[in-house]
């Protein structure tokens, strides 16, 4: 059998085995193996490692796309000096994900507008995606509207179940949800469904004492807060607005310190769990 026929046959077999990375590099590594006198085991291990690395890279790309994180928000360009109440070491530990995500614990961020909550939430999400976790970022009002549509179509249970594939669901600006029975009831159902099962990261401009403006009755407010704070880490980010500092800096003719950002670079990492 000729070398060309062998190569064609091997290409077919690699397609059938779903090994696209090996299909593209085996010839190059085979040539190097012949020149350097590799053992068969070394050659096989080398192309297998390449296949795994490519799978990790593609998986991280897919998970980053589905995460819908805010562009440019990273831990590297988050200004921890402007938020001294936030421990960089604690944030780094949270970015590992192992303990709290596996336990279905939550992370809650409170503070006025422009204090960096959304930036930090998205940056943590980015780090978790790089670590192999599945994350989804959404403005709370947008997600609630989608869940309302699902309820009208008698598909709310399925819509909430679909979100369970995410280890972390980030709900940004939860206090902008209207105090409307339809909106708040689907939000409450989402919180209840994920309780002690899947983690949530929630940002809010108002403290729990003001959440009566979100949920229509005190009992629902108490039940929602109770579920969120149980097994939760809470960050209080009471700092001046970045946008206000920027405006003042412009007026005074100097650049403002910022907790908001510029570029993102994501390093692929090995996935912590199987694809679903």
Domains in the chain: boundaries:
3-64, 69-251
The mean per-residue pLDDT over the stretch 14-21 comes to 88
The mean per-residue pLDDT over the stretch 70-78 comes to 95
Q: What does R_g of the chain's alpha carbons equal in angstroms? A: 24
Is the CB of residue 270 less than 8 Å from the CB of residue 132? yes
In this prediction, residue 240 has a pLDDT band, given cuts at 50, 70 and 90, of low
User: So what's the pLDDT on residue 198?
Assistant: 96
pLDDT of 255 strictly over 60: no
Instruction: Encode pLDDT of 107-125 as tens digits.
Output: 999 998 888 999 999 999 9
pTM surpassing 0.85? no
> CA 87, 92, 97, 98 torsion: positive or negative?
negative
User: So what's the pLDDT on residue 131?
Assistant: 92
SS3 content of the chain, % helix, strand, coil (to 5): 55, 10, 35
Give the right CATH number for 69-251 from 3.40.50.300, 3.30.460.20, 3.60.10.10, 3.40.640.10.
Answer: 3.40.50.300
Structure tokens at 240: 């001046």
Kindly report the backbone phi and psi dihedral angles of residue 44, in degrees, each rounded to the nearest multiple of 5, phi listed first.
Answer: -65, -40
User: So what's the pLDDT on residue 236?
Assistant: 92
3-class DSSP state of 74: coil
Among all chains, which residue has been given the structure tokens 């062998």? 6
Q: What percent of the chain has pLDDT over 70?
A: 84
pLDDT of 251 strictly over 70: no
Is the CB of residue 80 less than 8 Å from the CB of residue 88? yes
Task: Say which residues have a Cβ less than 8 Å from residue 224's Cβ, sequence separation at least 6.
Answer: 187, 188, 191, 211, 214, 215
């Amino acid at each position: 059998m000729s070398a060309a026929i062998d190569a064609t046959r091997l290409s077919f077999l690699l397609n059938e085995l779903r090994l696209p990375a090996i299909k593209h590099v085996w010839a190059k590594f085979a040539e190097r193996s012949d020149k350097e006198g590799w053992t068969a085991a070394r050659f096989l291990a080398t192309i297998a490692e390449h296949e795994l690395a490519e799978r990790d890279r593609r998986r991280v790309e897919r998970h980053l796309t589905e995460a819908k994180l805010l562009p440019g928000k990273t831990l590297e360009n988050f200004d921890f000096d402007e938020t001294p109440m936030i421990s960089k070491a604690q944030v780094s530990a949270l970015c590992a994900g192992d303990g709290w995500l596996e336990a279905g614990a939550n992370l809650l961020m409170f503070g006025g507008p422009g204090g960096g909550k959304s930036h930090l939430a998205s940056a943590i999400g980015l780090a978790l995606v790089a670590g192999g976790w599945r994350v989804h970022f959404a403005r709370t009002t947008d997600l609630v509207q989608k869940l309302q549509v699902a309820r009208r179509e008698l598909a709310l249970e399925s819509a909430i179940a679909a979100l369970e594939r995410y280890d972390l669901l980030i709900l940004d600006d939860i206090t902008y949800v209207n105090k409307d029975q339809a909106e708040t009831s689907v939000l409450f159902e989402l919180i209840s469904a994920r309780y002690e099962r899947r983690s949530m990261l929630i940002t809010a401009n108002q403290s729990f004492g003001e959440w009566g403006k979100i949920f229509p009755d005190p009992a629902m407010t108490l039940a929602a807060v109770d579920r969120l704070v149980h097994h939760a880490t809470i960050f209080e980010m009471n700092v001046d607005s970045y946008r206000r500092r920027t405006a003042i800096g412009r007026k005074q003719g100097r650049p403002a310190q910022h907790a908001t950002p510029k570029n993102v670079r994501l390093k692929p990492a090995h996935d912590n769990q199987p694809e679903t």
